[in-house]
Amino acid sequence: MRRTITNRIFMMLLLLTIPVSVLGNTRVITKVLDSDLVQIGDSFVARLTGIAAPPKNEVIGYKIYDFTKRELEGKLVKIFTWTTDNTAAGIIRDEDGHAFVHIYYGKGLATSFNEVLLKKGFARVDETRLPEDLKHYLDLEKKAREQDLGIWEKKE
């Protein structure tokens, strides 16, 4: 009897600790500032790693900003910062000091938002800010360009 109670307590404690590790890098996007720039929490501002989207003051840019806002603002996301050494000191930042992030959202936080923007033609690859493990972004951009999507749409 005592062993059963001990086992139950152990299992309950184990189950309580699992979400902490799973949610370690999840946050809510508090505000979308531009097509590829988001605010997380009160003051952490981040830019999407490896891509560049037109600013919201351009016609297509506003459409992309609006899409980003609808998809991310107020939503729980999984965030991975681009680092040189997996420490906070190694976070790569843009010229304005914004950290670069890769955002996953949607069901199971399994969809790469950075890739969604590329696939829709809503962003181009920024090769100067493209980590080695994201080189497949070049193929995503190429496919969107070939399909004349988003920013690649041919003007008539």
125-147 pLDDT tens trace: 999 999 999 999 999 999 999 99
For the record, the structure tokens of 54 come out as 């037109």
Residue 45, H or E segment: strand 44-48
**Fold of the domain built from segment(s) 24-151:** OB fold (Dihydrolipoamide Acetyltransferase, E2P) (2.40.50)
| Beta strand 76-81 pairing with 99-105 | antiparallel
d(CA 29, CA 139): 28
Kindly report the pTM of this predicted structure. Answer: 0.82
Tell me what pLDDT residue 23 has.
39
Helix (H, G, I), strand (E, B) or coil at 77: strand
For the record, the structure tokens of 118 come out as 């590329």
How many Cβ atoms sit within 10 Å of the Cβ of residue 76? Answer: 12
pLDDT band (50, 70, 90) for residue 1: low
